Amino acid sequence: MKRVFKWIGIAIAVALGGVVVFVIGMMLWVNSRLDRTYHIEPRAVAVLTDSASVAEGKRLFSIYCSECHGDNAAGTAFFHNPSLGSVNAPNLTRGRGGVATLYHNTSDWVRAIRHGITPEGKPTFIMPSKDLHYLSDADVGHLVAFLRTAPAADGVGRKRELTTLAKVLVGMGAFGDISAEVIPHDSVPPTPPRGVTAAYGNYLVTTFGCRNCHGERLAGGKHPDPEGPPVPNLTPGGNLGSWDEDMFITNIRGRRSRWMPFVQLGRMSDDELRAIWSYLHGLPALPTATQ
């Protein structure tokens, strides 16, 4: 009997030792990935400074960025909880906590938006640059025109404090990719001209990151937040199969959910939403995916 206990004890000790080695290994690996320095010289983008360009940049910011960085760009606490730690989407203005003073030229902004890399060469976390990489030069130019002149507002500064648990989860991919690691930094993605076309709709779906939630084939999927609900099928195989363009636009503008950025998406113009509809409506009808 005693011998059995001895072997059970040894087995438990080995298992615990394995867990400790796994956790420490994950931490070191994730730390080194988040602390890596990248040397990326972004492709030049023309930034117009006229008031129409700034206004267009502000509009794009309200669609693509405000959910995390706030309507006035002063930042928000992206998450803050005892088990995972704290991550801010920081203030991007020159007010209190703002990072704008660290951004000296257009390239610094383009590097952050398109490549997910700060002026110090460090990768950003959560920030969806892997999708924003596909924004056209014109759209990036407008965003930078707005950011360079955004009124100073006081807000939350940089903060990225991850608990050991959060680091293990990052290592296991639970927070999605670290953008800087997966972006094809040298690629020059083609961008379709603006218009009510399926091609432009696909551009908007790609840059807005609809596939992160609705699945690679837009046939539905699992929400990136483990507490989130199953995400609906957007191909004609789901509810959208019985909708028309007006119903689609009314649905986007009228609905509210903490799990889907309807507010930000609803700020797109009618033509932009019509382009998205045209793209989704033209997809093959797929059965709803559960993963």
68 lies in the site for ligand HEC, by CB under 6 A: yes
Of 231, 249, 283, 289, which lies in the binding site for ligand HEC, with binding defined by CB under 6 A? 231
78 lies in the site for ligand HEC, by CB under 6 A: yes
220 lies in the site for ligand HEC, by CB under 6 A: no
Contacting ligand HEC within 29-48 (CB under 6 A): none
d(CA 81, CA 163): 10
Q: Which stretch binds ligand HEC (CB under 6 A): 40-48, 121-129, 168-176, 192-200?
A: 121-129
Least distance from ligand HEC to the Cβ atom of residue 172, Å: 18
Which is closer to ligand HEC, CB of 151 or CB of 229?
A: 229
Q: Which stretch binds ligand HEC (CB under 6 A): 7-15, 17-25, 82-90, 165-173?
A: 82-90
d(CA 54, CA 135): 17
d(CA 142, CA 176): 28
Of 209, 235, 281, 283, which lies in the binding site for ligand HEC, with binding defined by CB under 6 A? 209
99 lies in the site for ligand HEC, by CB under 6 A: yes
Of 51, 187, 239, 290, which lies in the binding site for ligand HEC, with binding defined by CB under 6 A? 239
d(CA 239, CA 109): 39
Which burial class, exposed, middle or buried, applies to 45 when counting CB atoms under 10 A from its CB (0-12, 13-18, 19+)? buried
d(CA 176, CA 178): 7
Which is closer to ligand HEC, CB of 8 or CB of 114?
A: 114
Give me 24's structure tokens: 């420490």
Which is closer to ligand HEC, CB of 42 or CB of 238?
A: 238
d(CA 187, CA 203): 16
**Rg value, the chain, Cα:** 22
Which is closer to ligand HEC, CB of 198 or CB of 234?
A: 234
CB-based contact 240:248 (threshold 8 Å): yes
User: Long-range contact list for 237-246, CB < 8 A, 24+ apart?
Assistant: 237/284, 237/285, 237/286, 237/287, 237/288, 238/288, 240/280, 240/281, 241/285, 245/274, 245/277, 245/281
143 lies in the site for ligand HEC, by CB under 6 A: yes
Of 72, 118, 206, 278, which lies in the binding site for ligand HEC, with binding defined by CB under 6 A? 118
208 lies in the site for ligand HEC, by CB under 6 A: yes
Of 30, 110, 276, 289, which lies in the binding site for ligand HEC, with binding defined by CB under 6 A? 276
Q: Which stretch binds ligand HEC (CB under 6 A): 2-10, 89-97, 169-177, 184-192?
A: 89-97
Which is closer to ligand HEC, CB of 13 or CB of 246?
A: 246
CB-based contact 144:109 (threshold 8 Å): yes
Distance of CA 236 to the CA centre of its chain: 26
Other Cβ atoms closer than 10 A to 229: 12
Least distance from ligand HEC to the Cβ atom of residue 228, Å: 6
Residue recorded with tokens 């700060």: 118
Contacts to ligand HEC by CB under 6 A: 64-65, 67-69, 78, 87, 89-90, 92, 99, 112-113, 118, 124-128, 132, 143, 158, 160, 205, 208-210, 212-214, 223, 228-229, 231-232, 234, 238-239, 251, 257, 259-261, 265, 276
